[in-house]
Amino acid sequence: MIMSQPHSDPAAIECLVRDNLNAVRARMARAAERSGRNAEAVTLVAVTKYAQPEWVQALLRLGHLELGENRPQQLEERARLFPSTVNWHLIGHLQRNKVRKTLPIVRLIHSLDSVSLVQAVDRIAGELGLLSEALLEVNVSGEASKGGFRPDDLRTAWAALRDLPRVSIRGLMTMAPLSDDPESARTVFRDLRRLRDELAGGSGQLPELSMGMTGDFEVAIEEGATLVRIGSALWTGLEEG
């Protein structure tokens, strides 16, 4: 239930965040077990887009350091608020004019969506003396409203992207169409996994699959997700309304 007045008592906030985190982790573990996987192989990226700073602080006190932001500007602002021990993930679109400020902050970019953007990240990472770890965003569903490589376009571009010196492509990311039925996302997630396997060619070069959000992360884990991006399930009950 989403509530109008936010909780202000730090102890109450931490209690709610702990309960939500434990509930999400339990669901992740059951999904991993159903698919014969180890739950430790799946990383929970806590999406902080709509979270109040005190909620995020509670999560950090509980030892969860993997945080995700959708917008580079908000990521930059958030990074100044929280300890340097946070592992930041950029899960939304990266504009080319934000690359230089973003690269020193993030552990992993989930959303490189064009050859030109990957090449820009490679060039700027070189200028900054960094090695940038990233995922390629794939528009598996073919929805016009979504960004990302179309699968055939990525197959064509892959040879030009896989060996860039300053971008380590760690895997693929996708978003399934919005639906009340998590099962409707299964084909999208399965197709991303198969595309990853095809591009990797048995090399193990692309270990990461970022797929699944609050509404469908269990199906994503069953289909091989190694990173799930979860926001609202972690903040449930922190506001009334």
Is 241 part of any domain? no
| pTM for this entry | 0.94
Cβ atoms within 10 Å of 173's Cβ, excluding its own = 27
Is 144 part of any domain? yes
Instruction: Give residue for tokens 């679109």.
Output: 93
- When divided into structural domains, the chain yields a total of 1
Q: How confident is the model at residue 216 (pLDDT cuts 50, 70, 90)?
A: very high
Is 1 part of any domain? no
H or E element at residue 193:
helix 186-200
The number of angstroms, rounded, from the C-alpha of 59 to the middle of its chain's C-alpha atoms is 17
Is 168 part of any domain? yes
Is 3 part of any domain? no
Is 192 part of any domain? yes
Residue 20's CATH number: 3.20.20.10
Amino acid identity of 114?
A: S
Is 166 part of any domain? yes
Query: Tell me, what's the pLDDT at 7?
Result: 59
Query: Tell me, what's the pLDDT at 240?
Result: 53
Query: Tell me, what's the pLDDT at 54?
Result: 96
Q: How many helices (H) and strands (E) does the chain have?
A: 9, 8
C-alpha pair distances (Å), 86 with each of 20, 44, 75, 81: 20, 13, 12, 11
The pLDDT of 211-222, averaged and rounded, is 97
Interval 1-26: pLDDT, tens: 333 344 578 899 999 999 999 999 99
Is 2 part of any domain? no
Enclosing domain of residue 35: 10-235
C-alpha pair distances (Å), 30 with each of 15, 61, 143, 218, 234: 23, 25, 30, 8, 17
